[in-house]
Amino acid sequence: MKIIGKKFLIDFGMAKAILEVKNSTSLAFTIIEKNGKETKETEIVEIKLNQLRPRLFLLTWKEKNGNTVTQVQDHKNKKAFMNWTQPDGQFINAEAEIKSFKG
Protein backbone atom coordinates (compact mmCIF):
# COMPACT_ATOMS: atom_id res chain seq x y z
CA MET A 1 0.00 0.00 0.00
CA LYS A 2 1.38 3.34 -1.01
CA ILE A 3 0.73 5.10 2.32
CA ILE A 4 3.01 2.81 4.33
CA GLY A 5 6.16 4.61 5.40
CA LYS A 6 4.84 8.05 4.47
CA LYS A 7 3.94 11.00 6.70
CA PHE A 8 0.84 13.15 6.35
CA LEU A 9 -0.32 16.39 7.94
CA ILE A 10 -4.00 16.36 8.82
CA ASP A 11 -5.71 19.61 9.84
CA PHE A 12 -9.10 19.15 11.52
CA GLY A 13 -9.37 22.82 12.53
CA MET A 14 -9.52 22.14 16.26
CA ALA A 15 -6.39 19.97 15.98
CA LYS A 16 -3.49 19.30 13.64
CA ALA A 17 -1.58 16.04 13.58
CA ILE A 18 1.25 14.36 11.72
CA LEU A 19 0.46 10.72 10.93
CA GLU A 20 2.90 8.07 9.77
CA VAL A 21 1.66 4.63 8.78
CA LYS A 22 4.64 2.54 9.94
CA ASN A 23 3.31 -0.70 8.47
CA SER A 24 -0.02 -2.43 7.91
CA THR A 25 -0.57 -2.78 11.68
CA SER A 26 1.10 0.30 13.22
CA LEU A 27 0.49 4.05 13.08
CA ALA A 28 2.47 6.82 14.78
CA PHE A 29 0.76 10.15 15.30
CA THR A 30 1.87 13.43 16.80
CA ILE A 31 -0.71 16.07 17.65
CA ILE A 32 1.10 19.35 16.96
CA GLU A 33 -1.73 21.80 17.66
CA LYS A 34 -4.87 21.57 19.77
CA ASN A 35 -7.47 24.36 20.06
CA GLY A 36 -5.03 26.86 18.54
CA LYS A 37 -2.20 26.04 20.95
CA GLU A 38 1.03 24.30 20.03
CA THR A 39 1.51 20.89 21.62
CA LYS A 40 3.41 17.69 21.04
CA GLU A 41 1.49 14.56 21.96
CA THR A 42 2.92 11.42 20.37
CA GLU A 43 1.55 7.89 20.38
CA ILE A 44 2.05 4.69 18.42
CA VAL A 45 -1.11 2.62 18.03
CA GLU A 46 -2.03 -0.74 16.60
CA ILE A 47 -4.25 -0.28 13.55
CA LYS A 48 -6.38 -2.19 11.12
CA LEU A 49 -5.70 -0.87 7.63
CA ASN A 50 -7.91 -1.59 4.63
CA GLN A 51 -7.52 -0.27 1.11
CA LEU A 52 -11.01 0.39 -0.25
CA ARG A 53 -9.82 1.43 -3.71
CA PRO A 54 -6.61 2.98 -5.04
CA ARG A 55 -5.69 5.93 -2.78
CA LEU A 56 -8.68 5.39 -0.44
CA PHE A 57 -8.00 3.80 2.96
CA LEU A 58 -9.92 2.90 6.10
CA LEU A 59 -7.94 2.92 9.35
CA THR A 60 -9.22 2.00 12.81
CA TRP A 61 -7.45 2.09 16.17
CA LYS A 62 -7.79 2.55 19.92
CA GLU A 63 -5.71 5.13 21.76
CA LYS A 64 -4.19 4.72 25.23
CA ASN A 65 -6.70 7.26 26.62
CA GLY A 66 -9.54 4.97 25.51
CA ASN A 67 -10.62 6.85 22.37
CA THR A 68 -11.69 4.57 19.54
CA VAL A 69 -11.04 6.02 16.10
CA THR A 70 -12.22 5.30 12.56
CA GLN A 71 -10.59 7.32 9.81
CA VAL A 72 -11.11 7.33 6.05
CA GLN A 73 -8.16 8.79 4.14
CA ASP A 74 -8.93 9.81 0.56
CA HIS A 75 -5.53 10.66 -0.89
CA LYS A 76 -6.94 11.26 -4.38
CA ASN A 77 -9.12 14.12 -3.11
CA LYS A 78 -6.81 15.08 -0.20
CA LYS A 79 -9.52 14.60 2.43
CA ALA A 80 -9.70 12.72 5.72
CA PHE A 81 -12.91 11.85 7.55
CA MET A 82 -12.67 10.83 11.19
CA ASN A 83 -15.11 9.53 13.78
CA TRP A 84 -14.07 8.84 17.33
CA THR A 85 -15.75 7.87 20.54
CA GLN A 86 -14.31 9.09 23.82
CA PRO A 87 -14.31 6.92 26.96
CA ASP A 88 -17.30 8.89 28.33
CA GLY A 89 -19.31 7.92 25.24
CA GLN A 90 -19.13 11.29 23.47
CA PHE A 91 -19.11 10.78 19.69
CA ILE A 92 -17.23 13.26 17.50
CA ASN A 93 -16.78 13.46 13.75
CA ALA A 94 -14.61 15.74 11.68
CA GLU A 95 -13.41 16.35 8.15
CA ALA A 96 -9.91 17.52 7.28
CA GLU A 97 -7.50 18.31 4.54
CA ILE A 98 -4.68 15.79 4.21
CA LYS A 99 -1.25 16.78 2.87
CA SER A 100 2.04 15.00 2.36
CA PHE A 101 4.52 15.92 5.09
CA LYS A 102 8.27 15.92 4.83
CA GLY A 103 10.11 16.16 8.09
Domain that holds residue 70: 7-100
The predicted structure's pLDDT at residue 1 = 65
Domain membership flag for residue 2: no
**Tens of pLDDT along 43-69?**
999 999 999 999 999 999 999 999 999
Torsion of CA 12, 76, 72, 47, to 10 degrees: -100
Cβ(100)–Cβ(21) below 8 Å: no
CA 8 to chain CA centroid, Å, is 9
CA-CA distance, 6 to 93, in Å (whole number)? 24
pLDDT score of 34? 94
pLDDT tens-place string over residues 8-20 = 999 998 899 999 9
- pLDDT reported for residue 103: 73
Is residue 1 one of the residues assigned to a domain?
no
Q: What is the CATH number of the domain that holds 69?
A: 2.40.128.20
- 64 SS3 class: coil
